[in-house]
Structure 1
Amino acid sequence: MELSVIIVSYYSREMMRECVQSIFDFNDLPDDELEVIVVENSPLDEALAMRELLVQFAGKPVKFIRNDCNRGYGGGNNAGIKQASGKVVAVMNPDIRLHKPLFKRAVEEFKSKNTLAMLGFKQIGNQSISYYLNPEFYFPLLRSFVERVANRMNRFNPRYFFLSGAFVFFDRQKFWDAGGFDEAIFLYMEEADISHRIRERAYSIQFIAGYSYLHLIDERVGFTAKAYRHLLDSLSYYCEKYNFNERKIRNRMLFEHRFKKKVARLLGRVELEAVMNSNIEVLLARSAGTATIHVDNN
């Protein structure tokens, strides 16, 4: 088996049919060299509905796995990859749509490069960001600009950027050699973490701009308070794991949020101001008792 595509779902039934269909519509590998594994993180009733939906792909190489609880992005994908037969595995979000063949190119890249462990293609959708700055390179006000310019110019360096986990390929053996996804991270920074460990083992990470896929991600102003707490949890764990200065990064985040809040207020962008204010409150609550962060009500 050449390729296994893993799709983790959490109440993603409405998006799943078109996602899976696009995989088969644009598959350029022999039929017996591709399999799709859907991993359901949702409760039992939703899982049963998902299983029923996948019946329409009877006769196609589609497997279904249900986790007994929501194991997040990393845990869900690990469960699928453990059941995978492909030498190469692709991790795909349910809101990804293929619009041209690219599986054959991905498999050929891994076959031709002995050290290649992780591969990404060009993402089209929302801001068309295919890779992001690693958390340790959080530059206030400049971060988003640097990411957009680097993506527009297709300048990728795995020392500074990590590939989007919305759709990314791994050499399965090297993925497990690097430890797989760290299941202590429930949400956010899983890609930065696995990329860090891949590089530690002297494996390579590659981005190819000549092949693309669609990401139907909605435009959003910012994180919800709950999502932002998850982000900070992951940041704390990541920094402790790799000995980065979490306090410095949180200070930079706080500076950026305060600046954006003031700009949003001047421009009358009420929703953005509310999001920035929520982020500030979460950051200050998380940092209570930390002397380097000072309360500012402005």
Structure 2
Amino acid sequence: MKTIGITIISHDSYEDVLAFFSSFINYNSPLGIDFLILETSTNDRMKDLGDYIQSGVSFQVDFIPNNGYAYACNRGINYFGDHDIFVLSNADVVFTSEIVSEIRKNFNRTKYGTIIQKNPGGRVVTFDLYPQYKSLFTEVLKIHRLLNKFTWYNHKYVYIVGAFMIFGNEVIKQNGLFDEEFFLYCEETDYYYRLRNNDNAVIIKNRYVIHNISSSIGKKFNNSKSKLLESSLAYYYKKHEYKPFLDYWKVSRKVNSVYRLISSLFVKKDKEEVCI
């Protein structure tokens, strides 16, 4: 039986991790599955996790404060170096059916690099266009939502958003580790671009895993995250020698800044500003 190592990457997401385990155990036996929880914030609440997770679950918590997502992915891969299958998951993922047997069955072919995540209707993005194929036109039309709604996937133009990534050991050996220059955002974009160029297969399933929208709804996309995304995109463009004719992200940020400025003129001083 193939061994599976699941790395859960958290940033002060204690409740999300509890929901992850609760939903996982509802549908799957934890026997033969090893878990590593990586906490990237300075909050140490995760040390009490063992009080709330049922016995028989094999897990370890490591604290890696102020480290990036790509670093955490690599930490998990190295930790489970002798396992057959690596799973890299966000904390805010929940399970809606059995998944372990599906993973083992689909990884009889070890060259697979895949994700099984799809929320019907595209409410949570699974597929997205590579940055070099994006424009204001594609963003205004919400092309990514259409891709998800109709499960249109073409590995030349589309990558899979990294909320729940699954890789066979052979895929990691062939493609190497994640680029740790990506602190937050674009690390999975860069890795799937590598998979594409090495002809690794990607398979799509239509259920099994979704984002836990209710627990994530309060997580604002604030100005610091916006700057990190802009920085990651700039590095991605440089790495892949792509010069955008019009950087849609910078333009959209300026438009949103003007919008917020105008909105602030009509909002009471004590009202909380919601970042767009």
Q: TM-score, normalised by structure 1?
A: 0.77
Describe the SS at the equivalent of 1:25.
helix
> Residue 269 of structure 1: CA displacement?
10
Q: 1:101-250 counterparts in 2 under 5 A?
A: 101-111=98-108, 113-123=109-119, 127-143=123-139, 145-209=142-206, 211-217=207-213, 218-219=216-217, 223-246=221-244, 248-250=245-247
CA distance change for structure 1 residues 18 and 125 in 2, over 3 Å: closer, same or farther? farther
Listed one character per residue, the Cα deviations across residues 178-217 of structure 1 (whole Å, up to 9, x for unaligned) are 12211110000111100011122221222222x2323123
> Residue 32 of structure 1: CA displacement?
3.8
Listed one character per residue, the Cα deviations across residues 128-149 of structure 1 (whole Å, up to 9, x for unaligned) are 3211111111121423521111
Which segment is superposed worse, 226-235 or 17-26?
17-26
C-alpha distance in 2, partners of 1:221/1:71? 19
> 2:35: which partner in 1?
36
* Structure 1 runs not aligned, ≥5 long: 277-298
- In proportion to residue count, which structure has more helix? 1
Describe the SS at the equivalent of 2:202.
strand
> 1:283: which partner in 2?
none
User: In the alignment, residue 19 of structure 1 is paired with which amino acid?
Assistant: F
* Structure 2 runs not aligned, ≥5 long: none
C-alpha distance in 1, partners of 2:126/2:101? 20
> Residue 249 of structure 1: CA displacement?
4.3
Q: Is the 8 A contact 2:122 2:146 kept in 1?
A: no
Q: Is the 8 A contact 1:37 1:64 kept in 2?
A: yes
Q: Is the 8 A contact 2:115 2:164 kept in 1?
A: no
> Residue 115 of structure 1: CA displacement?
2.9
User: In the alignment, residue 243 of structure 2 is paired with which amino acid?
Assistant: N
Q: Is the 8 A contact 1:124 1:212 kept in 2?
A: no
Describe the SS at the equivalent of 2:113.
strand
User: In the alignment, residue 42 of structure 1 is paired with which amino acid?
Assistant: S
> Residue 238 of structure 1: CA displacement?
0.7
Describe the SS at the equivalent of 2:229.
helix
Describe the SS at the equivalent of 1:208.
coil
> Residue 261 of structure 1: CA displacement?
7.2
CA distance change for structure 1 residues 269 and 146 in 2, over 3 Å: closer, same or farther? farther
Describe the SS at the equivalent of 1:183.
coil
Q: TM-score, normalised by structure 2?
A: 0.83
CA distance change for structure 1 residues 125 and 26 in 2, over 3 Å: closer, same or farther? farther
Which segment is superposed worse, 140-149 or 116-125?
116-125
CA distance change for structure 1 residues 269 and 233 in 2, over 3 Å: closer, same or farther? farther
C-alpha distance in 2, partners of 1:241/1:225? 24
Describe the SS at the equivalent of 1:205.
coil
Q: Is the 8 A contact 1:110 1:117 kept in 2?
A: no
C-alpha distance in 2, partners of 1:221/1:161? 26
CA distance change for structure 1 residues 256 and 11 in 2, over 3 Å: closer, same or farther? closer
C-alpha distance in 2, partners of 1:274/1:231? 18
Listed one character per residue, the Cα deviations across residues 26-62 of structure 1 (whole Å, up to 9, x for unaligned) are 216xx5431111112232xx33x31222243343211
Q: Is the 8 A contact 1:34 1:61 kept in 2?
A: yes
CA distance change for structure 1 residues 116 and 222 in 2, over 3 Å: closer, same or farther? same
> How high is the sequence identity, in percent, across the aligned residues?
21
> 1:52: which partner in 2?
48
> Residue 121 of structure 1: CA displacement?
2.7
User: In the alignment, residue 119 of structure 1 is paired with which amino acid?
Assistant: I
